[in-house]
Amino acid sequence: MRRNTNPRPRQGFTLIELLVVITIISVLIALLLPAVQASREAARVMQCANNSKQLMLSTHNFATSYDGQLPAANFFQVVNSQTGLAAEGSGFYALLPYYEQATIFSTYTQNRPDAGYLGSQTIPMSIHICPTDTTNNNGIAILGGQIATSNYCMNLELFGAGGTFNIKGKPSPFRIGTIPDGTSNTIGLFETAASYPGYPALDPQSGTYENIMAWSYPAYPNTYGPYWPNPDELVGQPNYTGSYPLPQIGINPMQANPNLCQSFHSIMNIAMMDGSVRKITASINQTIWSQVINPNDGGPMGQW
């Protein structure tokens, strides 16, 4: 009988071949992962820029309704004429009806013990959340309590100009059309950390509690309001140095300082008062930075 000398067909990979395949796949994943992460971060930057854009458009819509007037840094509306009870809040609180949150505005701008920011301070807003910032949990500060945060803050040198940062219900003396340096040369909104886990709760510079950036708080307590520069750093105030501190960009959340503004991206989105959103890096020139913050310094804006 003739024997079959043909070898039997192989049934699978050898161990060495399998290891080679696994190694190749691992190398490909290692090569692709940075690109995937970069793509995700680019999407986060775009989301933050869109949030800034929408908030600035809301500011323009508000101004259109009020003859060019800007929202007061300290929203104040009496809701009970007999007791004097008032609803108080931030400029963002005043803008609620202009970014599709009219229900929250109407709910808390009425005669109730938790009127204004007292009641709305625990309501997170997606438009105020930067997905790169880990110092908030779905819009709530990671620190104690249930305070709803903001990753965007108003330029208090503009919205609180003329000492209005410390006056309830008083809007800035500047209107959209009367900003001395012009809307395209003046910053409206910065990015900021939602909270400051690595910083003392009591700010040694201002002597106030500033370890959270809440979207709803007014400016006059100089605590959690969504504003920068801090009141004590404005022109004519004790900690004004002739310029404004440069932003923190691309930092670790534990480094975030409430006396500065910051972005956890490698860039920072800046919303100008003309509605445009620009990107700056940590290398921004100090003189230009100060000129675009102060709406009334008369200095021409150079190249970013």
The pLDDT of residue 299 is 65
The pLDDT of residue 209 is 87
On whether the CB atoms of residues 98 and 75 are closer than 8 A, the answer is no
The pLDDT of residue 101 is 92
Q: Which amino acid is at 263?
A: S
Q: Cα separation of 69 and 171, whole Å?
A: 7
The pLDDT of residue 31 is 66
Judged on CB neighbours under 10 Å (0-12, 13-18, 19+), 231 is buried
On whether the CB atoms of residues 71 and 62 are closer than 8 A, the answer is yes
Judged by phi (left if over 0) then psi (alpha if -120 to 50, else beta), residue 258 lies in: alpha
Which residues lie closer than 8 Å to 55 by C-beta, 6 or more apart? Answer: 92, 95, 99, 127, 152, 189, 271
Q: Considering only CA atoms, which of 177, 173, 169, 136 is closest in space to residue 158?
A: 173
On whether the CB atoms of residues 95 and 63 are closer than 8 A, the answer is no
Query: pTM here?
Result: 0.85
Kindly state the DSSP code that residue 239 receives in the 8-state scheme.
T
On whether the CB atoms of residues 211 and 196 are closer than 8 A, the answer is yes
pLDDT of the chain along its 304 residues, tens only?
555 555 555 556 677 767 777 777 777 666 665 655 656 767 878 899 999 999 999 999 999 999 999 999 999 999 999 999 999 999 999 999 999 999 999 999 999 999 999 999 999 999 999 999 999 999 999 987 899 999 999 999 999 999 999 999 999 999 999 999 999 999 999 999 999 999 998 998 888 888 999 999 999 988 899 999 999 999 999 999 989 999 999 999 999 999 999 999 999 999 999 999 999 999 999 999 999 999 998 765 555 5
On whether the CB atoms of residues 297 and 289 are closer than 8 A, the answer is no
Judged by phi (left if over 0) then psi (alpha if -120 to 50, else beta), residue 38 lies in: alpha
Q: Cα separation of 30 and 33, whole Å?
A: 5
The pLDDT of residue 21 is 72
DSSP assignment string, 63-79: HHHTTTBPPPSSEEEEE
Work out the number of other CB atoms within 10 angstroms of the CB of residue 292.
26
Q: Cα separation of 93 and 275, whole Å?
A: 19
Q: Where are the domains of the chain?
A: 37-293
